[in-house]
């Protein structure tokens, strides 16, 4: 079961976050550009050209050319004018429109060519005003749009910088916490505190690591495991085969433990006599079960004869303690006693098994 180095994960984290932020910023900018185009179309659709005014102008030119006005033409002019007149206007525009409104209605009621010509001038003025106003408002819109675009850009840059700083801080804190565990790992491997017979870590180093088990697990939010192991009927084994054979059996068990626990932050110990211990940091229940099943399987493969055991071969009983948020506050003595009780349960239930 391969485990990616924690520091590498922490280095990858800010890179992934920054790439994600850049992609999001790019998508956001593209959406803003599309929004601008849509607003542009709306602006020009509303202001340039002013369709209703042009229809009124067309009707007036027709009236002036023919020299007469029909009731249908008069009704159509008023209809188009009412539509235009009731559209949104500024206070200044409303004041001008009131005057033109009077002029237009007066001309229609009097039905004179001079009145129509005067109204036509007013309509031309309004058309020009609407065109100029549309361009002016679009120019103002573009200025506001540019300011908005700049604001969004700098906001995105600020967010990216803040996320980067936060990520660096979190990464630094995580690496700092992990240093304690890494230091222990190096110290345990470098210093020659091993058992002389089995070459596993000895009881002295077990006491050191076990004493730091809850602190390291808590600081790094780890789930960890402590496994207490006992060779089944080992006294009878020594009585049957002799102490020299017993020492060889201890070495073979140690070899199995060492070969099955070769990952970072996995430790195997000889606690004394036929007792062994395992500590695994940063793990989970499924992996612990996989490891213990693998140990049993590898030991069974050796087929070490043990006629005093009902299985006929050398076997192990194991008690497993999972260290997590429910056990962080327990003392080392309490943790040890829990594992010891689970080991006792394995023995009482037929041996050659583990109890979690």
Write out the catalytic residue numbers: 274
How far is the C-alpha of 120 from the C-alpha of 33, rounded, in Å?
A: 40
For the beta carbon of residue 272, count every other beta carbon within 10 angstroms: 12
Sign of torsion over alpha carbons 172, 175, 180, 182: negative
C-alpha dist (Å) from residue 136 to 63, 131, 143, 324? 33, 9, 11, 68
How far is the C-alpha of 85 from the C-alpha of 93, rounded, in Å?
A: 10
* Tokens of residue 160, six digits: 């990216």
Sheet strands side by side (includes 316-323)? 266-272, 275-280, 224-231, 316-323, 353-355
Cross-strand pairs, 227: 278, 320
How far is the C-alpha of 40 from the C-alpha of 125, rounded, in Å?
A: 24
Cis before residue 256, ω within 30 degrees of 0? no
DSSP 35-77: HHHHHHHHHHHHHSS-HHHHHHHHHHHHHHHHT---HHHHHHH
Burial class (CB in 10 A: 0-12, 13-18, 19+), 93: middle
Cross-strand pairs, 277: 228, 269
Cross-strand pairs, 280: 225, 266
Q: By C-alpha distance, which of 341, 282, 339, 350 is closest to 316?
A: 350
Q: By C-alpha distance, which of 210, 198, 202 is closest to 280?
A: 210
Q: Are strands 312-313 and 275-280 parallel, antiparallel or unpaired?
A: unpaired
């Amino acid at each position: 079961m391969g485990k990616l180095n924690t520091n590498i994960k922490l280095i990858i984290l800010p890179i992934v976050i920054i790439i994600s932020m850049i992609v999001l910023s790019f998508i956001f900018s593209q959406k803003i550009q599309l929004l601008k185009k849509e607003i542009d179309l709306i602006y020009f659709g509303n202001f340039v050209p002013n369709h209703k005014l042009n229809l009124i102008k067309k009707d007036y030119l027709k009236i002036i050319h023919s020299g007469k006005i029909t009731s249908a033409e008069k009704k159509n002019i008023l209809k188009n004018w009412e539509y235009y007149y009731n559209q949104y206007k500024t206070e200044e525009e409303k004041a001008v429109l009131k005057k033109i409104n009077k002029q237009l209605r007066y001309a229609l009621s009097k039905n004179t060519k001079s009145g129509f010509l005067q109204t036509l001038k007013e309509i031309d003025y309004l058309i020009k005003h609407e065109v100029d106003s549309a361009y002016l408002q679009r120019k103002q819109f573009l200025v506001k749009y540019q300011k908005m675009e700049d604001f969004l850009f700098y906001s995105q840059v600020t967010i990216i910088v803040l996320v980067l700083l936060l990520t660096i801080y979190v990464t630094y804190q995580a690496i700092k916490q992990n240093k304690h565990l890494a230091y222990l790992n190096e110290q345990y491997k470098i210093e020659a505190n091993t058992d002389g017979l089995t070459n596993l870590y000895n009881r002295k180093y077990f006491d050191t690591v076990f004493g730091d088990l809850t602190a390291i697990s808590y600081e790094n939010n780890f789930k960890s495991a402590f496994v207490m192991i006992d060779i089944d009927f080992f006294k009878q084994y020594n009585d049957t085969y002799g102490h020299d054979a017993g020492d060889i059996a201890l070495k073979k068990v140690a070899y199995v433990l060492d070969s099955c626990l070769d990952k970072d932050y996995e430790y195997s110990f000889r606690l004394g006599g036929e007792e062994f211990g395992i500590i695994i940091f940063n793990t989970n229940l499924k992996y612990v079960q996989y490891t213990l099943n693998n140990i049993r399987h590898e030991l069974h493969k050796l087929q070490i004869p043990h006629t005093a055991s009902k299985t006929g071969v050398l076997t192990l009983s194991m008690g497993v303690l999972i260290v997590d948020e429910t056990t962080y506050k327990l003392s080392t003595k309490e943790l040890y006693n829990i594992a010891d009780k689970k080991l006792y349960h394995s023995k009482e239930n037929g041996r050659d098994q583990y109890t979690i």
